[in-house]
Structures are given as structure tokens and as C-alpha cells.
């Protein structure tokens, strides 16, 4: 029934045509694109209470009277890589019915070759089935938001490669458009890619759930066009606490997305702008006590003004290893941070 409702919405959006879509498409970004807005730090305890009370009991669909949603491009997307029988892929592509979604390795990224709108049009499941989180203990999830760029993202990737550590990059749509080769590098080096909306603009994203959804769907189309697959994970700019209402959680559930905030933060995008030593201190202090499900989800950023984050990263990795953490990437199976 849910799939049918989504299908009707998608058909309605498609009938409106390219003219209607052009009215809601974000403006074309140029080389002078300003920096994205600063993240706000999440209060984990308050956020847990907020999310549990906000989570609806039954998902409902966005109203057909809301702005049209993007429909799948008619141009053939990049074909996702096929699995080499002699060497397993470093990531998992879910099948049509999500029957292979379960994996026992927290370091394996998970992607989908279909967009949410394509799933609806094909009559395939859109919502992700309920799955148990990983049972692994003391897993650290290094996450980098707002990229990719050509200054600090490559440096971070070099460090991760040298250290043999996987990470998760929550990317912004317009930056992915401008830096497709960097998206490919993140993907090919075994890291997870998550959806961080198209323009990261709080005023538009949190003006209405449908605007947030449109940006997620549009960014998925961009990523699928580059990689042949799209992510199932998203992160709300600024975190969900104080930003999301019931309708946002309803919408993400109905369209098959999993949102993760964080429970460890370097504060590298706050007004404090801490140096590398201070960032290391924050991570050390916030991992002194046990985290929920032993999952430390660490918020960092990878844009051009995050030089101190690059400096701090090797010691953050060393510190977490010394505390007994292994490293994973965020997937729909990753425990929530609160």
C-alpha cells in the first residue's frame, strides 16, 4: 500500500514535467560557491529524548500538493561495478527486495542501484526492513561532513589509506557535482558515502519536509550518475535535534533512508574553531565513558578550512585504537548514537 502511495506521487510529479522541476531546482553553483553553513553541536541526551518522542507510529506520504519531486533521469546512469568472482567487492549493493541487506562486517559500505523514486515506479520495496544493528563491540565511525573538496579531502584520504582505516563521507550535492573524481576516489578506496543534502542551507532545508526530501532525492541522482549506485544513509545538516519535526522522520522512513547524528564531536565547525590539540582532547574526553552499543560516531569535516582537523586525524586514530576501538563505516545497520 505504501509503495502504491509513493508510486502515485512519483507519477504526479512526472506529469508536471521539466518546467515544474526547473522552478524548484537549486540554482547552478559556480566556482565562487561560498562555504556551507557551520554545524551546530548536538546534545546527545536531549537529542535521544527528542527523536524518541518525535518518531511517528505510522509513516505518511508528503502531500501531492507539495512541490514536485524529481523523477528518475531518462539518461542511462553509470553502470554499477559487477562483482569479480575472484575478489569480493569492498562494498555491498542491495538487491531489489533488500534480502541481502544483512552483513556482519561493520566496515562494508552499503549502496543501492535504484533511487527511491525508481523503486516506487518499479513496484519494489522502498522502505528498509527492520534489521538488527551490528553486534560488534567498540566500533568507531569516523565521519566527515560537507565535502568533498580538493584541498583537505585528499589529505584526509591519504591519512586514512596510510592508517588502513575506513570512514564515512557525508557529501553535499553541489560539491559532488563539482568534484566527481573525488567522489570516485572515496568510493574506490572503500569508504562509505552518505547524503548530506544538496546545498546545506538551513533556511531552505528546514522550511518544509518536502524541501529537505527534494534535496536528498536530487543529491541521490547526482551520486548515482557518478557511481552507478546511491547511498541509503543521510545526515541532516546541523543534526536533527531542534531541526526535525515528526514529519521529517515520517518522510525519511517512508522513502527508505536511515539518518545518523553523532555522539563524539571535535567541534571543528563551531565558532571555537579548536586547534588540533584541542580536537584530540575533545575526542579523548568524550570516549572516556562507554558509548551506546559501544559505537563512537565521530563528527568531523573535510572542507578547505579544516586544516587543524587534518593535523588531528592521525592522533585521533591512534587514540581510539589505544582505547580498543576498531573502525567501521555508517550503514543502515550502524547503531544509533543515542
User: Does any domain span residue 243?
Assistant: yes
User: Does any domain span residue 333?
Assistant: no
In the prediction, which pLDDT does 335 show? 96
- Mean pLDDT confidence for 223-242: 98
Please determine, for residue 308, whether its predicted confidence score (pLDDT) is greater than 60: yes
- Among 146, 218, 301, 305, which one carries the catalytic annotation? 301
User: Does any domain span residue 334?
Assistant: no
In the prediction, which pLDDT does 136 show? 84
Please determine, for residue 10, whether its predicted confidence score (pLDDT) is greater than 60: no
Under the banding of pLDDT at 50, 70 and 90, the label for residue 31 is very low
Buried b (16+ CB within 10 A) or exposed e, 179-200: bbebbebbbeebbbbbbbbbbb
146 is catalytic: no
> Does pTM surpass 0.85?
no
Please determine, for residue 72, whether its predicted confidence score (pLDDT) is greater than 60: no
CA distance 196 to 269: 15
Query: Could you tell me if 47 and 240 are in contact, meaning their C-beta atoms sit under 8 angstroms apart?
Result: yes
Please determine, for residue 115, whether its predicted confidence score (pLDDT) is greater than 60: yes
Better pLDDT: 62 or 58 = 62
CA distance 111 to 100: 11
Please determine, for residue 277, whether its predicted confidence score (pLDDT) is greater than 90: yes
Please determine, for residue 83, whether its predicted confidence score (pLDDT) is greater than 50: no
User: Does any domain span residue 39?
Assistant: no
**What DSSP assignment string belongs to 259-285?**
E---SEE--TTSTT---HHHHHHHHHH
Query: Could you tell me if 64 and 83 are in contact, meaning their C-beta atoms sit under 8 angstroms apart?
Result: no
Please determine, for residue 4, whether its predicted confidence score (pLDDT) is greater than 70: no
- Mean pLDDT confidence for 53-60: 37
- Mean pLDDT confidence for 46-52: 41
> Would you give the DSSP letter of residue 167?
-
148's CB contacts (< 8 A; 6+ apart) are 169, 171, 175, 176, 179, 182, 183, 186, 302
182's CB contacts (< 8 A; 6+ apart) are 147, 148, 149, 150, 153, 154
In the prediction, which pLDDT does 32 show? 35
Least confident interval from 47-51, 204-208, 251-255: 47-51
User: Does any domain span residue 40?
Assistant: no
Query: Could you tell me if 108 and 232 are in contact, meaning their C-beta atoms sit under 8 angstroms apart?
Result: no
User: Does any domain span residue 173?
Assistant: yes
Structurally, the chain folds into a number of domains equal to 1
Please determine, for residue 237, whether its predicted confidence score (pLDDT) is greater than 70: yes
Per-residue pLDDT tens over the stretch 240-260: 999 999 999 999 999 999 999
Domain CATH number, residue 115 = 3.20.20.370
In the prediction, which pLDDT does 141 show? 98
Mean of all residue pLDDT scores within the chain? 82
- Mean pLDDT confidence for 104-120: 97
In the prediction, which pLDDT does 87 show? 56
In the prediction, which pLDDT does 178 show? 98
Range of the domain at 137: 2-24+52-327
- C-alpha pair distances (Å), 259 with each of 12, 126, 238, 334, 336: 27, 15, 12, 10, 9
User: Does any domain span residue 161?
Assistant: yes
Please determine, for residue 60, whether its predicted confidence score (pLDDT) is greater than 70: no
CA distance 253 to 235: 13
Under the banding of pLDDT at 50, 70 and 90, the label for residue 80 is low
User: Does any domain span residue 31?
Assistant: no
Least confident interval from 4-13, 110-119, 148-157, 249-258: 4-13
Please determine, for residue 64, whether its predicted confidence score (pLDDT) is greater than 90: no
The grid coordinates of residue 207 equal: 522550511
Under the banding of pLDDT at 50, 70 and 90, the label for residue 135 is confident
301 is catalytic: yes
- Mean pLDDT confidence for 98-117: 95
The grid coordinates of residue 164 equal: 588502513
In the prediction, which pLDDT does 137 show? 87
57's CB contacts (< 8 A; 6+ apart) are none
- Among 145, 199, 220, 268, which one carries the catalytic annotation? 145
In the prediction, which pLDDT does 13 show? 39
Beta strand pairing status for 326-327 and 295-301?
unpaired
Amino acid at each position: 500500500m505504501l509503495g502504491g502511495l509513493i508510486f502515485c506521487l512519483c507519477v504526479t510529479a512526472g506529469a508536471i514535467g521539466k518546467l515544474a522541476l526547473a522552478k524548484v531546482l537549486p540554482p547552478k553553483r559556480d566556482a565562487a560557491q561560498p562555504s556551507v553553513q557551520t554545524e551546530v553541536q548536538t546534545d546527545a541526551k536531549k537529542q535521544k529524548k527528542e527523536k524518541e518522542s518525535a518518531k511517528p507510529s505510522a509513516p505518511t506520504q508528503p502531500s501531492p500538493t507539495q512541490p514536485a519531486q524529481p523523477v528518475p533521469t531518462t539518461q542511462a546512469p553509470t553502470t554499477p561495478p559487477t562483482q569479480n568472482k575472484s575478489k569480493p567487492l569492498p562494498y555491498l549493493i542491495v538487491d531489489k527486495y533488500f534480502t541481502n541487506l544483512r552483513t556482519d562486517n561493520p566496515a562494508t559500505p552499503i549502496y543501492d542501484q535504484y533511487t527511491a523514486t525508481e523503486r516506487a515506479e518499479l513496484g519494489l520495496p522502498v522502505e528498509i526492513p527492520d534489521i538488527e544493528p551490528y553486534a560488534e563491540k567498540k566500533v568507531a565511525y569516523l565521519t566527515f561532513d560537507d565535502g568533498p573538496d580538493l584541498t583537505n579531502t585528499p589529505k584526509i584520504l591519504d591519512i586514512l589509506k596510510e592508517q588502513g582505516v575506513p570512514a564515512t563521507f557525508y557529501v553535499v550535492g553541489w560539491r559532488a557535482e563539482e568534484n566527481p573524481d573525488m567522489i570516485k576516489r572515496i568510493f574506490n578506496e572503500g569508504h562509505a558515502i552518505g547524503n548530506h543534502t544538496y546545498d546545506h542551507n538551513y533556511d531552505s532545508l528546514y522550511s518544509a519536509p518536502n524541501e529537505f526530501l527534494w534535496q536528498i532525492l536530487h543529491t541521490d541522482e547526482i551520486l548515482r550518475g557518478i557511481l552507478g549506485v546511491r547511498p541509503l544513509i543521510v545526515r541532516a545538516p546541523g543534526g536533527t535535534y531542534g531541526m526535525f519535526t515528526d514529519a521529517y522522520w515520517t518522510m525519511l522512513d517512508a522513502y527508505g533512508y536511515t539518518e545518523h547524528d553523532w555522539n563524539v564531536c571535535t567541534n571543528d565547525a563551531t565558532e571555537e574553531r579548536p586547534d588540533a590539540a584541542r580536537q584530540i582532547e575533545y575526542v579523548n574526553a568524550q570516549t572516556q565513558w562507554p558509548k551506546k552499543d559501544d559505537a563512537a560516531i565521530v563528527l568531523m569535516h573535510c572542507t578547505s578550512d579544516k586544516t587543524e582537523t587534518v593535523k588531528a586525524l592521525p592522533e585521533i586514530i591512534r587514540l581510539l585504537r589505544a582505547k580498543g576501538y576498531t573502525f567501521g563505516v555508517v550503514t543502515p545497520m550502524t547503531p544509533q548514537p543515542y
